[in-house]
Amino acid sequence: MKESEKIYCRRKKHYDHLVKSQSSTVVRISRLRFLIFLLGIIFIVGFYIKNYHYMSLSIFLVSAILFVLAVRIHEKLKQNTDFTKKLVEINCNSLKRIVGDWKEFNEKGENFKNVEHNYSWDLDIFGENSLFQCINCCNTYLGKENLKNVLSSPLGNSKDIEKRQSAVLELSCKLKWRQHLEAQSSSIEDNKESVSKLKEIVSTKNSTYRNKYIIVVFKIIPIVTIMLLFMSFVFHFFNNSIGYAALVVQIILLLPGAKNRFSTLNTVFNLKSNIRSYEKTISLICKEKFQCDYLNDLKSMLLKKQNGKLKNAAEEIYKLKKISESISQRQNLAYIILNIFFLWDYQCMFAFEKWREENGRELYDWIETVGKFEMLSSLAVIAFDHSSWTMPQILDKSLVLKADSMAHPLLGDKAVCNNLDLNKNSKVALITGSNMSGKSTFLRTAGINLVLAYSGAPVRAKSFCCSIMSIYTCMRISDNLEKNISSFYGEILRIKSIVEAANRGENIFFLLDEIFKGTNSIDRHTGAKILINELMDSNTCGMVSTHDLELCDIESESNERVKNYHFREYYKDNKIQFDYKLHRGASKTRNALYLMKMAGINVPDD
């Protein structure tokens, strides 16, 4: 059992025990709350019947205070229990991830699948049984977007990657904090639409509710109205019509701009739960101490000095939370009365507009920072779960990929390790071998480990060094009936994009699987040879798998800038077996006829 697996087991056991303890406490407090209510009613009624009115009133006040306290304690304990249950679930998922049951996870990144992307479709970065499904610990929309971006977009330079590597390694040691971040952010239920709506509403300016004179007037009017009501109905200084008139004036004042106020306040109210969760999540980040510059730079987005004072994003979000809590359902009768008497919509709009003026431009940056921490935490999971994996070395020199004992990150214990060495003197690995021997898997192994390397995460290898290269693949090309494109023409278009990128001066790493398989053998051989020679003369390196053994002659013609490798099979007890080990040289075996026999097809013996 891995050390990380033992740690997850211990933590799950601890939180399971804690949930039981907290749940029993919640039940006891719930019973106590009911008992306070019941005894309060009995004693209040009893003393009132016996004409001990002051005693009855005293008991009412005491029992009311005790009941409110019990309700708050109960709610707090219930929140703590729910939080602990989330931690249990997180550790359960972590154990599933280690033993290979991560394919059960619901979040697969299906919406990020793109068959036209340079490599993500071919390398299983998103979708069913994908890298994203395996490592994702993000709950927020922007967290998933950040993880998607780092797995599918070029990062830039080696310094950027090295900064991210430092952040990932530091977070990998902060297991408790990472799990608390994941548990806290799991309460956030946002999506592209809600994030856009939030961004829109906090960045919109409404100068009417920022006007100092309007603010003063609309704060004074309710005070005057209430005074008139008391003087009319309680003290009878004026005719009752004066009080009614004051209320009518306030109702009329609520009509102008009511639709816009309703829309704005209703949106803030509907986001109340997310605002509360973001406040707790941001507070968790602000309180944590980090060592590496990358993490501190991210944290500084939440803690900024402004006018000589430290502006804490958590505190500002807390203010927004209080504003959202002051807004109730507009259809609520109590709210309608509150609104008429105090012009409550205006008071909420004044408070929100003030907050929006001070913080509106920064709110999106704050929630994006949360997303970036989630993304880094997802990458840190890899480092914590697989201590034997290595952090790759990113080289400034071009066209290098050297790996020792490299294996596929998603295949668990079934993965087989192989070495790979590509450089300017040996730019293309031409891989031959029989069907099912492991050619395509090896290409994907190199590609997906390179994606991890550029993201700042560890890779599955004993050692791994690479230069910055744009990844291009041509592997899963199929007919596109919607666009009326055949698989062969689809290959041509993909290869065209590789050649164009190379002509632009990009450093390219390419993976070509069964190149030009959609055409006849003569054209396939000729076309593949022309393409390999062209790529070999560009700023490219990569791997090509093929069944066309005649292509292996390129090695001698290219002065070994193209090198032949192969996978082989062997037979045991009259059954075909594969060791999935990469060997130097061209393949000498074939197994297509044997596999046809295994499928029940009558194939005559040689």
Give me the mean pLDDT over the 156-183 stretch: 94
Q: Please, which pLDDT band fits residue 562 given cuts at 50, 70 and 90?
A: very high
Give me the mean pLDDT over the 16-35 stretch: 94
In this structure, are residues 456 and 150 in contact, taking their beta carbons and an 8 Å threshold?
yes
Q: What residues have CB less than 8 Å from 260, skipping those under 6 apart?
A: 206
pLDDT for res 594: 58
pLDDT for res 329: 64
C-alpha 575 chain-centroid distance: 45
pLDDT for res 601: 62
Distances (CA, A) of 295 to 165, 307, 440: 11, 24, 38
Q: What whole-number distance in Å separates Cα of residue 578 and Cα of residue 184?
A: 47
Helix (H) or strand (E) holding 263: helix 258-270
In this structure, are residues 324 and 269 in contact, taking their beta carbons and an 8 Å threshold?
yes
**287 compared with 605, residue with greater pLDDT:** 287
Q: pLDDT digit string (tens) for 68-96? A: 899 999 999 999 999 999 999 999 999 99
Give me the mean pLDDT over the 461-473 stretch: 95
pLDDT for res 360: 85
Q: What whole-number distance in Å separates Cα of residue 564 and Cα of residue 588?
A: 12
Within 288-343, residue ranges assigned H as helices are 293-300, 313-325, 333-342
Q: Which of 158-162, 205-209, 581-585, 598-602 has the lowest mean pLDDT?
A: 598-602
Whether residue 309 is predicted with pLDDT greater than 90 in this model: the reply is no
Amino acid at 138: C
pLDDT for res 592: 58
**Three-state secondary-structure class, residue 570:** strand
pLDDT for res 483: 57
Amino acid at 331: Q
To the question of pTM greater than 0.85 for the whole model, the response is yes
Tokens of 53: 């009115």
Whether residue 481 is predicted with pLDDT greater than 70 in this model: the reply is no
Whether residue 339 is predicted with pLDDT greater than 90 in this model: the reply is no
Give me the mean pLDDT over the 56-65 stretch: 89
Amino acid at 88: V
Q: What whole-number distance in Å separates Cα of residue 229 and Cα of residue 248?
A: 12
**Three-state secondary-structure class, residue 543:** strand
- Of 310, 303, 306, 316, which Cα lies nearest the Cα of 275? 316
Whether residue 593 is predicted with pLDDT greater than 60 in this model: the reply is no
Q: With b meaning 16 or more CB within 10 Å and e meaning fewer, what string describes 331-355?
A: eeeeeeebbbebbbbbbbbbbbbeb
Distances (CA, A) of 393 to 169, 319, 428, 490: 14, 45, 21, 35
Q: pLDDT digit string (tens) for 355-372? A: 988 888 888 999 999 999
**233 compared with 270, residue with greater pLDDT:** 270
pLDDT for res 102: 94
CA-based radius of gyration for the chain = 33
